[in-house]
Structure 1
Amino acid sequence: MENEKINELELVENLYVRVKNILENGRAKAFKVVNTVMIESYWNIGKEIIEEEQRGENRAEYGKYVIQSISEKLTKEFGKGYSKQNLWYMKQFYLTFPILHSVRGELSWTHYRLLMKLKNNDIRNFYMIETIENNWSSRELDRQISSLLYERIKMSKDPVTVKELSVVGQKVETAHDIIKSPMVFEFLGKGDYTISVESDLESALMDKLQLFLLELGKGFSFVGRQKRINIDGDNYYIDLVFYNYILKCFVLIDLKMGKLTHRDIGQMDFYVRYYEKEIRLDGDNPTIGLLLCSDKNDSMVKYTLLDDSKNIFASKYQFYFPTEDELIEELEREKLSLELEYND
């Protein structure tokens, strides 16, 4: 009798889960439809305002009068959401996205308000594509724009391929494609952690694993921390291990608080070679080693690595958003470095 009761409870619970999934899927579909209709309506309202303004003799003054009058009438009849500010955004929405089919229903009105602040079409298109592909919330989109993701990726791209960022977003095809420098760990928060050694940084990043994965880039899944390697009874530990399902390879990360040394690079070279021989499966691509450090000497990295160590990278990290001046300075350094390397 007792077993029958347990079975009945399990059946009811299973039914509840199935019904709950139906409702959640239905709500998600309904939200997407409603959101698409709302976005299209806002675009059409902006279009009507622009066309009406163009019929007026004094466009600036007449435009203010139109928005003020329409705002008062709409607010009285439809309630909040039709303030002068919001109507101005709708007007800008139409001007920014003059073709309706370029407006994507996957994005919310808050997403579009953030995108409209970007004056460059290529940069705006890049963030639109990345938001849709990675399912970013408006808060995450704001964070990525504020941390100048486009500029950081652009620094590591060949000028010939930079234009593709605005057409297809960030393509991940080679090991080099997934490395950003600098990486920004502002999500750790000021004062939340006392970070003085690598283990402190490792623990802090694990506490914020989801945001760390977003900062790393596309296709990362977490495998483990302090992964042990045993060689003839001696134990070695890799700080963080990930698997990138786009590149189909392991990504080994070692954290360093200061400037890299040749020993750090040699140790990572050892980790990568071990994974290549002992862990990597048939069908996997070559293992990537990434040294995250607060400072690096590019020449030392270049001359320390052997010719066959093509998949070991060093990337800087910082705990705050880079300023535009800092990025411009970094771009100039990168440009000079490339010119010197080319001339060599």
Structure 2
Amino acid sequence: MNKPSAPRKTSKSAPAKPTSLVTLLTEVRQLIQSARRNVSTIVDTFQVMTNFEIGRRIVEHEQKGAKRAAYGTELLKELSERLTEEFGTGFSPVNLSHMRRFFLTWRERSSIFQTPSEKLGAEEILQTPSEKLVPSQIRQTPYGKSTFTLSWSHYVVLMTIKDPEERSFYEIESAQSNWNVRELKRQKASCLYERLALSRDKEGIRKLAREGQVVVRPEDLLKEPFVLEFLGLDEKASYSENDLEQAIIDRLEHFLLELGKGFLFEARQKRFTFDEDHYFVDLVFYNRLLRCYVIIDLKLDKLTHQDLGQMQMYVNYYDREVKLPDENPTIGLLLCKSAKKTVIELTLPKDANIHAKEYNLYLPSKELLKEKLDEWSAAATR
């Protein structure tokens, strides 16, 4: 006798996710990601401010005691042993010396900080979930609002720069351009400050120290020279313009950092045709800060008037055929091994939006650039 079959179970499909959940999930995900980034920022700020206050107390203690050099050395050694025993690593005599130097280097900022005994106003760092977490809005420490916006590792590098204006420039640029420590070291080693200064007047140099590299006109993008050591090309080896161009494309991220702020890559070997002839621009970029095209031609040898004339044709074509009416005039940049100022001045009209700059395949000598900067300053005052 056959047993009656069990009633068949009907499968229920999983309920469809409401479309509103997608929006909610996106907002929550962004909030969590932003919070995690800013927690890291807060930790960095606390470390920097704590090290600043440790440095302050070491200096104040030294001022009350003997001023002999041996006293300072023994003080840091003994303090290091006590702190390491209680708190672990991070308080070596070298690190404590960095903290002391950190306070002495930036001591003019100490007047804006509160003392540790003052209470932290929690309402100043709390935000509603709908508000964006912006690092500058939550840089609150037990010592008050911090103007130190970089990590401790950044400041250790910055302390090696003796010139206050140069040091201020690299601090501002690190914060504005979001440089990591490795990039800060690279820009410092490539003498970015001196190279930018050689393309500016005296007021422009002072603005570098106060504001960093502010891009509001084509000249603000220029350096003297451009440094392309990251391409890995041997200065003494034989290479072609195509090799140079390919090396730039292979390391495009580094090249964009060397060019400066606001650059977007568009094309290589961009072709345009008229009168049945084909012409090719080596590299085409767009600068979103200046709202204009920047076209680059690469030259292995010294610059000639024919090179300048060709670039003038490229710029004219882009201005007349490519750029939009609300965009600014195209900038032409010739990167070459040698550029003679006289050839440039005699070939181009004064208002030409074309610039020729030399490039190096190795890190430049800081002493040589400073010497050139001093010569430039002396000539400017005559």
Same fold by TM (over 0.5)? yes
Do structure 1's residue 170 and structure 2's residue 200 form an aligned pair?
Answer: no
Give the 3-state SS of the residue equivalent to 2:299 in structure 1.
Answer: strand
The alpha-carbon deviation at position 71 of structure 1 amounts to 0.6
- Separation in 2, partners of 1:22, 1:133: 23
- Separation in 2, partners of 1:192, 1:78: 50
- Separation in 1, partners of 2:300, 2:334: 11
Which deviations, in whole Å up to 9, do the C-alpha atoms of 1:279-299 show, x marking residues without a partner?
A: 111211111000000111111
Mark the CA change 1:43 to 1:318 in structure 2 (over 3 Å): closer, same or farther: same
Which deviations, in whole Å up to 9, do the C-alpha atoms of 1:102-150 show, x marking residues without a partner?
A: 9644201110001111111111111111111100111111111111111
1:129 corresponding residue in structure 2: 172
Q: Which runs of 5+ in 2 are unaligned?
A: 1-12, 114-145
The alpha-carbon deviation at position 57 of structure 1 amounts to 2.3
The one of 69, 94, 107 equivalent to 1:60 is: 69
The one of 63, 85, 100 equivalent to 2:94 is: 85
Which deviations, in whole Å up to 9, do the C-alpha atoms of 1:173-207 show, x marking residues without a partner?
A: 21111111200001112569976111110110111
Do structure 1's residue 296 and structure 2's residue 339 form an aligned pair?
Answer: yes
- Separation in 1, partners of 2:149, 2:375: 38
- Separation in 2, partners of 1:292, 1:112: 33
Which deviations, in whole Å up to 9, do the C-alpha atoms of 1:225-250 show, x marking residues without a partner?
A: 11111113321110001111111111
Do structure 1's residue 201 and structure 2's residue 234 form an aligned pair?
Answer: no
Mark the CA change 1:225 to 1:337 in structure 2 (over 3 Å): closer, same or farther: farther
Which deviations, in whole Å up to 9, do the C-alpha atoms of 1:59-85 show, x marking residues without a partner?
A: 422222221111111111211111110
- Separation in 1, partners of 2:199, 2:180: 26
1:231 corresponding residue in structure 2: 274
Q: What amino acid sits opposite 2:97 in the alignment?
A: W
- Answer yes or no: is the 8 Å Cα contact 1:185–1:318 preserved in 2: yes
1:269 corresponding residue in structure 2: 312
- How does 1:139-218 map onto structure 2 within 5 Å? 139-189=182-232, 196-218=239-261
2:5 corresponding residue in structure 1: none
2:154 corresponding residue in structure 1: 111
- Answer yes or no: is the 8 Å Cα contact 2:235–2:362 preserved in 1: no
Give the 3-state SS of the residue equivalent to 1:165 in structure 2.
Answer: helix
- Separation in 1, partners of 2:101, 2:259: 33
Give the 3-state SS of the residue equivalent to 1:230 in structure 2.
Answer: strand
Bigger helix share: 1
Larger Cα Rg: Structure 1 or Structure 2? 2
The one of 359, 366, 373 equivalent to 1:324 is: 366
Give the 3-state SS of the residue equivalent to 1:164 in structure 2.
Answer: helix
The alpha-carbon deviation at position 302 of structure 1 amounts to 1.0
- Answer yes or no: is the 8 Å Cα contact 2:296–2:333 preserved in 1: yes
- Separation in 2, partners of 1:14, 1:201: 46
- Answer yes or no: is the 8 Å Cα contact 1:227–1:239 preserved in 2: yes
1:280 corresponding residue in structure 2: 323
Q: What amino acid sits opposite 1:317 in the alignment?
A: Y
Give the 3-state SS of the residue equivalent to 2:86 in structure 1.
Answer: helix
Q: Tell me the TM-score normalized by structure 2.
A: 0.80
Which deviations, in whole Å up to 9, do the C-alpha atoms of 1:21-59 show, x marking residues without a partner?
A: 443322111111111111111000001101111111244
Do structure 1's residue 312 and structure 2's residue 354 form an aligned pair?
Answer: yes
* 63-72 vs 194-203, which moves further: 194-203
Q: Which runs of 5+ in 1 are unaligned?
A: none
Root-mean-square deviation (Å): 2.7
- Separation in 2, partners of 1:82, 1:196: 50
The alpha-carbon deviation at position 158 of structure 1 amounts to 0.7
Identity %: 43
- Answer yes or no: is the 8 Å Cα contact 1:53–1:59 preserved in 2: no
Give the 3-state SS of the residue equivalent to 2:214 in structure 1.
Answer: coil
